[in-house]
Amino acid sequence: MLLPEDFEQGIIPVHEFTLPPGNFTFGEKTLQNYEISAFYDRHGSIYFKIKNTFRFFELFELADQEICLSGDAYPEPIDLGVSSTSSDHVILFPKRQPVFVDFGKLPIEAHAILLNGPDLPHTKQSLEIADSGRLLSICKMANTASLRNKNSELRYDRIPTHTLKIYGQIPTKDTVLEIVGRFCRFLVFVRGGWCGWGNILGVSSDGSAAFAYLGFARSDHFKIIRGWCDAEVIGDVPEVYQLYLKNIIDTDNETVFIRTLEYYRAANSSYDSSIEVSIVASYAGLETVVPHILKSHGGMSRNFVDDMSFLDQLRAATSLIGLNSPPLCKLTHLQHRAESETGGDGLKLLTRIRNRITHFKLDYSLGGKELLEAHLMSQWLCEIFLFHLMHYRGKMADRREWQGWVGGNIIDVPLA
């Protein structure tokens, strides 16, 4: 098995490792207790390498390439596809990843690898976070800082950046997967995009593997536009996570938060390729969270809210949450445009920009800096509304301050 230290150089290792033997089913025929080795490709997908004996090849041909792996170590049968064949081996890939491998031992802790995780500053190499009676320790890998200096060169890569350790109450395979998935979903808000999780190992008391989830979940680009969380406020992440956990106890809050977060993520990840698309995605996040706040926190009926224009909903929501920083603050290019178009009304201008992108008109054009600031304002509003849902009033980086020196843009969340 690959251990966390195998990923320390910031590269997904591609060398082979041995797995417990399993049973291969070809239609109605089964080949029992067959040896298996595995390896990752450079993107984190897991592959099985099978020695191509005469018996395996014979059954493989008869099955028309429909193969399933099962056995004591593979209690959840794995449907396999064929990647390549040769005279001495066959390369197979699980059609769904990650795949579960059971080594039949009791775990006392678990480890996972994160790809393209959040940037931890030199002064804070790790974070300790509580979840469900357990502790999570997210620790930056040794080579991560040097790879950050190659952001532009590696911007589209999948880079192992952190180890995630789970300890405390004895974990099960299901609770580990639930906790890792929940925490990495929250990290979308911290980082602005998905960080991939995978190579989860349950560790027994003797240090050997108790179980494993092999393969990696999706991730967004290694380099992604930064939002509210930077080096100066990352230390507040454990507090924000506790507030997040309390917020998602309510299923409606959880649904709205996750849906808003997905639009927020899509806006960040599409920014480099199409800033217009990023504005539309971000605005969709506002259209998700704002009506929910008016109904659940403002006491407004569904029919009353549905009869309002979204611009009126947006105005009502900013008033309800006590927003005390004008949305156009620090956005000088949009300020000039708002003065001439909307009487200085930033929310009205944002709505107009989004509508003109979605319903194109030749006589309405926007400059690049105006589009940039529309993106920043919309994403900033998404952050503010999500902070309201979590009742967070701590520090944040104000992404609207995009000109001038790096840093110096830390503010208190501007909510009453």
Cα–Cα dist 194/188, whole Å = 5
**Whether residue 245 sits in one domain with residue 147:** no
- Where is average pLDDT lowest: 118-122, 235-239, 259-263, 316-320? 118-122
Q: Please return the burial class of 42, using the count of CB atoms within 10 Å of its CB with bins 0-12, 13-18 and 19+.
A: exposed
**Whether residue 183 sits in one domain with residue 253:** no
Residue 230: band (very low, low, confident or very high) from pLDDT cuts 50, 70, 90:
confident
* Domain coverage including residue 51: 4-97
Cα–Cα dist 410/402, whole Å = 12
**Whether residue 381 sits in one domain with residue 346:** yes
**Whether residue 318 sits in one domain with residue 388:** yes
Cα–Cα dist 329/285, whole Å = 21
Which of the listed residues 62, 97, 132 is the one where a domain comes to its end?
97
What pLDDT score was predicted for residue 54?
A: 65
**Domain assignment present for 137:** yes
* Entry pTM: 0.91
Which element (helix H / strand E) includes 91? strand 89-94
Statement: residue 123 has pLDDT above 60: no
- For residue 165, the one-letter residue type is K
What pLDDT score was predicted for residue 142?
A: 84
Q: Would you tell me how many other CB atoms lie within 10 Å of the CB of residue 388?
A: 22
Statement: residue 220 has pLDDT above 60: yes
Averaged pLDDT for residues 349-371: 90
Q: Provide the token pair at 70.
A: 């099962």
Q: Would you tell me how many other CB atoms lie within 10 Å of the CB of residue 329?
A: 16
Residues of the chain above pLDDT 70, percent = 95
Give the residue among 108, 110, 139 at the shortest CA–CA distance from 126: 139
* DSSP letter string, 63-81: TTT-EEEEETTEEEEEEEE
Residue that has been written with the tokens 């170590």 in this structure: 73
**Whether residue 283 sits in one domain with residue 343:** yes
Q: What are phi and psi of 205, to 5 degrees?
A: -65, -25
Residue-wise pLDDT tens digits, 30-46: 888 999 999 999 999 99
Residue-wise pLDDT tens digits, 242-300: 999 999 999 999 999 999 999 999 999 999 999 999 999 999 999 999 999 999 999 99
Averaged pLDDT for residues 387-404: 92
**Whether residue 152 sits in one domain with residue 92:** no
**Whether residue 358 sits in one domain with residue 274:** yes
What pLDDT score was predicted for residue 406?
A: 58
Parallel, antiparallel or unpaired: strands 67-71 and 74-85: antiparallel
**Whether residue 263 sits in one domain with residue 200:** no
Q: Which DSSP symbol is given to 125?
A: S
**Whether residue 373 sits in one domain with residue 294:** yes
What pLDDT score was predicted for residue 36?
A: 95
190 close to 268: Cβ distance less than 8 angstroms: no
Residue-wise pLDDT tens digits, 148-197: 888 778 888 999 999 999 998 877 888 999 999 999 999 999 999 999 99
Residue 119: band (very low, low, confident or very high) from pLDDT cuts 50, 70, 90:
confident
Q: Provide the token pair at 398.
A: 């104000």
128 close to 103: Cβ distance less than 8 angstroms: no
The conformational region for residue 44 under phi > 0 = left, psi -120 to 50 = alpha, else beta, is: left
Name residues whose C-beta falls within 8 Å of residue 303's C-beta, 6 or more positions apart in sequence: none
Number of domains in the chain: 3
